[in-house]
Structure 1
Amino acid sequence: MPPHVLILGGTTEARRLAAALAERPGVRVTTSLAGRVGTPAPLPGEVRVGGFGGADGLAAWLRDRRVDALVDATHPFAASITAHASAAAAATGVPAVILRRPGWRPGPGDHWHPAGSLADAAALLPALGRRIFLTTGRLGLAAFAHLDGAHFLARSVEPPEPPLPPDTEILLARGPFDVAGETALLRAHRIDVLVTKDSGGDATAAKLTAARALALPVVVVRRPPPPPGAHVVRDVPAALEHLAPVLGGP
């Protein structure tokens, strides 16, 4: 049987890896999506949507579908599925690797305020400004719902569900974004402070450059650490190199 690779996807890197594997003859690739985005773009290979039912459910899926390698290419903040993937791989003996793009790093002129969680980020805001640009995703807005006396501009791909901060304006948009557009947005909404997760990558990094140019403070929520002993690679070529023993050939 051809080698079967399961990609836990939802990121640009997952899409690129699926495309690279689909081009290889004799390789079966399945990408699993959480289903949080209503209309995902088409993907090469097979696609499944929805959860597995925790680590045990994922382990059963790996066995039943005879998966030969597991790649966790989910969002850097998808801590639960990453933990489940690590546990399922250990339980089944399926080789696993985490594909994570590098995080962002502050440079000269940046005014970053690190936060360990969304709750920590919310605690920092009263001292930093009253007009806040939230780019933490639609599922994280509840952490800011208790903050009165501040105006929030919250950007997400799909409409968020309550609870939301009392004074919230929703901006529905999907990256990539450019520096000119992000700068104009910050100015038009008279933003005092930007809040973001350390997602890494280029698609949404322009807001950091715009904030630097406008000398705005940026609250950056740190990534959760990978599970102990997990093997982490930073790009698709490194993931392919790690998969080579399973795929056969270089």
Structure 2
Amino acid sequence: MILVVGSTGEGRQLIRSLRQEGYEVATWTDSTYGEQLAREDGATFILTVPLTEGNLAALEGGRQPEAVIDATLPYPGRFSLALEAWCRQNSIPYLRFLRPETELPRDSLIHQVTTWEEAARAAADLGDTIFLTTGTNNLEVFVNNPLFKDKRIVVRVLPEHRVIKKCQDLGLTPRDIIAMQGPFSKEMNKVMFKAYKAGVVVTRDAGPAGGTEAKIAAALALKIPVVLIKRPSIRYLYSVATIEEAILLLKRLIPRK
């Protein structure tokens, strides 16, 4: 059994491809929607709890996987390091699936940072309406920050109950919550940035597959500054960037009988 962690598009593709190769696949997702998609993709066992270091204990006691493929987004990185350490302690091969980084144009409107706190400070300096495209992870870094006392924060998040509830619990009102599933095209991003009068766009480098290029292109076309949170620089023992690489490496690490 192979455990695929994360509900990214690549995670779903991995489940389908592994099933086609004849592997039994389990998955760990953090939402009921992710659970539904995993079932559609052919996962035979699904763990649905938040993707946190504290929940690694949920992997104990049951049938252990032959290998783990981590297809979560590379933010903040602590979870993946903890998962890799857990695999090492249990003598289970760990493969880190990482999307290619976004190739950035040279433009003074792009402000690269490495932490959420840096992103908040930069955004506060650059605009009065902050358009967040980073989901609800670390949303409190912006919402609870005194730098944003007199500013408007607009968030674009997944249309899931728990996600929207977190936004509301932090004090955001419906007029500032865009609940839609991406990724979005350049033109769609432009429409939303204009409609909400975005003064600055905050995004993570989720790679081309995550829509980062389209977001940046849309913002630059409208002359809106972008705060880009770069992914942490972490070296993994086994890192892959494509589905094909993952399956080839898996076959090498775990020869089929």
Same fold (TM over 0.5): yes
Instruction: Provide the rounded CA distance (Å) in 1 between the counterparts of 2:34 and 2:240.
Output: 29
Q: Percent identity?
A: 25
| Residue 149 of structure 2: aligned partner | 148
> Post-superposition shift, 1:110?
6.1
> Post-superposition shift, 1:199?
1.6
| Residue 218 of structure 1: aligned partner | 226
SS of alignment partner, residue 140 of structure 1: coil
1:57 lines up with 2:65 in the alignment: no
1:223–1:135 Cα change, 3 Å: same
Which amino acid in 2 is paired with 1:213?
A: A
Instruction: Provide the rounded CA distance (Å) in 2 between the counterparts of 1:14 and 1:101.
Output: 11
1:93 lines up with 2:91 in the alignment: yes
2:100 corresponds to which of 89, 102, 127: 102
| Residue 25 of structure 2: aligned partner | 29
Instruction: Provide the rounded CA distance (Å) in 2 between the counterparts of 1:166 and 1:187.
Output: 19
1:102–1:53 Cα change, 3 Å: closer
SS of alignment partner, residue 84 of structure 1: helix
Which amino acid in 1 is paired with 2:244?
A: P
Kindly report structure 1 stretches of 4+ aligned residues shifted beyond 6 Å.
Answer: 165-168
Q: Normalising by structure 1, what TM-score?
A: 0.86
Q: Indicate conservation of the 8 Å contact 1:22/1:28, yes or no.
A: yes
1:142–1:54 Cα change, 3 Å: closer
Matches within 5 A, 1:30-49: 30-35=26-31, 40-41=36-37, 42-46=40-44, 47-49=46-48
1:57–1:167 Cα change, 3 Å: closer
2:129 corresponds to which of 128, 131, 152: 131
Q: Indicate conservation of the 8 Å contact 1:154/1:171, yes or no.
A: yes
1:195–1:156 Cα change, 3 Å: same
Which amino acid in 1 is paired with 2:217?
A: T
Tell which deviates more after alignment, 207-216 or 28-37.
28-37
Contiguous gaps of at least 5 residues in structure 1:
none
1:20 corresponds to which of 5, 10, 17: 17
Instruction: Provide the rounded CA distance (Å) in 2 between the counterparts of 1:115 and 1:109.
Output: 15
> Post-superposition shift, 1:142?
0.6
Instruction: Provide the rounded CA distance (Å) in 2 between the counterparts of 1:136 and 1:14.
Output: 19
Contiguous gaps of at least 5 residues in structure 2:
none
SS of alignment partner, residue 241 of structure 1: helix
1:24–1:114 Cα change, 3 Å: same
Count of residues in correspondence between the two structures: 242
Q: Normalising by structure 2, what TM-score?
A: 0.83
Q: Indicate conservation of the 8 Å contact 2:53/2:79, yes or no.
A: no
1:149–1:36 Cα change, 3 Å: farther
Instruction: Provide the rounded CA distance (Å) in 1 between the counterparts of 2:42 and 2:78.
Output: 25
